[in-house]
Structure 1
Amino acid sequence: MSEKTTILCVEDEAMLLEDLKEELEDAGYRVLTAENGAAAMSVLGDEKPNLILCDMMMPRMDGPGLLTHIRKNHPKLNDVPFIFLTAKATREDLIEGKRLGVDDYLTKPVDYDLLLATVESSLGQIKRIEQRNKKQLLQLYNSFQKQRAVKSGKVRVSFVTGKPDSIVPLTSALTELGCQVSMISEDQLARQSFTLDDVDILFLVYSKIVHYYLKFVTSGKPKDWRGELVLLTPSNFPPDKKASLVENGVEDYIEYPYPPVEIFKLVMRRIQGKIPEGQSSSREGASASSSSL
């Protein structure tokens, strides 16, 4: 096991925490420790572990509280497996944990052979998902490049976001693939001081401001606009909010961590239907006379 694989253990029983640390380090893992959820959040401010092993019942911030905080406020940690340690795995506990997004449970007293097997299985699943995504992405990228070779013109992509730095990996990848990428600030959205005339795909990064002004975007689209409007949402987006988005005219949404495969599929669809530069189209004619949002 690579020593770069890091596990955060969160446990308020000092002796058990030390035992967990020792067992995991003997198995080749790098181990971080915290005595409760609040201390764990301090650790997570500087580190992104590969897996979190957390007691359910602790002072200051318990396991469910920590998991809820992470899933709600730290999307960068959504791909990190989260395993609960519990001395009372009641049916209600299991249901609560599953609803919060926990990946697995281990009961106390800890069976260390089962612990190591569970950790290895969780990390292995993440690795398989990453490998599958890379394979799909490579296939899509090759197809993308072939399409670019026979189609002229660039796919024009715009992002509405208040935090451009958070999507730099995505915008960089799209730029590298030949897309024309631009940014629209939330302030521009609020003032409705932009147009969709030169946009093929509009990605809106979900926020309270985006949600509030979404209806102005959907209702203000040029009548003959043939682009696509896609919302980039947090992970585990509530069903009631999804229903609200559909009512507001959102055509599609992609949940964090915004899988590149899903993003590139949209771009591929645009490329396949892209009208070569120099040829007129009803969309271009209509766009020239459409008004600002």
Structure 2
Amino acid sequence: MPEKILCIEDEALLLEDIVEELQDAGYLTLKASNGKEAIEILKYETVDLILCDIMMPVIDGPTTLKLVRERLPQHNEVPFIFLTAKSTREDILLGKKMGVDDYLTKPIDYDLLLATIKARLEQVNRIRETNEAKLKRIYHALRENHSAEPLSVALVANSHKFVLPIEQALQDLGCLVEFVHEEHLAVRKDTVEKNDLVFLFYSKIVHYYLNGLINTRATHGRGKMILLCKDNVDHNLREALLELGIGKTIDYPFPPVAIFKTILEATQNKI
């Protein structure tokens, strides 16, 4: 699937030029004319890279970077590149201290822009693949050293297609995986009792099910629950899940590293 890039630029003609160049290069694009619009987009969209002008009205580039890093942790690994007409040493040092990944100066050299984007995306993919490979090796080593039985995992959602990528990753690790439709959750008490882990995609049905457990403080068997959620999950529900000891939450886009870490934790608790 093509990578998606968010372009933040207050000059309308320049923004359109950047978007056109990126689309011609095969990227998907989102656009915003200032940091406020960008933050609203990032609450609901997943992107692979952010291009951001520094001098903008409403919310400028440095403030946008600060807000993304502090308030939108699901985008922590997303490369952030400043577009700027100012490239003094002080400006660059300030941006680096704030966590910006790169600088491109205006007027934009589009060949350099595309080369920089390609390099940054490849770097992120290498790091992600390396981390996933390390976690897989640790998991398999734990199982071999302790002769542990494979983990049994249930995936609860309103459609099987939503969980296919996670199901494949879990099967690659050697887990025993079953899919349970969310409509059967209330009558499938064994879903939690017989499985080591239960991943639940947040929905109204899942919300009411978990609220029922929280309100009655019902026993939930041996399984740990992991809520896969987007920004529309009620904050109080998240906190209640943690306090009750039911499990944890993983935010969209459910990075494989977070899934693998959860599997490792469960394996270490089991052996």
TM-score (norm: length of structure 2) = 0.65
Specify the alignment match of 1:135 in structure 2. 130
CA contact (8 A) 2:157 2:182 kept: yes
Shift of 1:168: 0.5
Match of 1:166 among 162, 175, 178: 162
Is 1:68 the counterpart of 2:40 in the alignment?
A: yes
Letter in 2 for 1:155: L
Segments of 5+ residues of structure 1 without an aligned counterpart are 33-46, 58-62, 276-293
Specify the alignment match of 2:48 in structure 1. 80
CA contact (8 A) 2:155 2:163 kept: no
Match of 1:153 among 131, 143, 149: 149
Matches within 5 A, 1:1-293: 16=14, 19-20=17-18, 24=21, 30-31=23-24, 49=28, 52=29, 54-56=31-33, 68=40, 71-72=43-44, 74=45, 78-84=46-52, 89-90=56-57, 92=59, 95=63, 99=67, 103=80, 106=83, 111-113=106-108, 121=116, 124-150=119-145, 151-189=147-185, 191-195=186-190, 196-217=192-213, 219-222=217-220, 225-234=221-230, 242-247=238-243, 249-274=245-270
1:132 and 1:104, CA in 2 relative to 1: closer, same or farther beyond 3 A?
Answer: closer
TM-score (norm: length of structure 1) = 0.61
Segments of 5+ residues of structure 2 without an aligned counterpart are 86-104
Shift of 1:152: 4.2
Report the count of equivalent residues: 238
Shift of 1:240: 5.5
CA contact (8 A) 1:230 1:252 kept: yes
| 1:73-101 residue CA offsets vs partner (Å, 9 max, x unmatched) | x5xxx133243569x71354555786576
Once residues 171 and 134 of structure 2 are traced to their aligned partners in structure 1, the CA distance between those partners, rounded to angstroms, is 18
Shift of 1:170: 1.0
Partner of 2:149, secondary structure, is: coil
Once residues 261 and 137 of structure 1 are traced to their aligned partners in structure 2, the CA distance between those partners, rounded to angstroms, is 6
Partner of 2:48, secondary structure, is: coil
Shift of 1:138: 1.0
Alpha-carbon RMSD across the aligned residues, in angstroms, is 4.2
Shift of 1:113: 2.9
CA contact (8 A) 2:5 2:47 kept: no
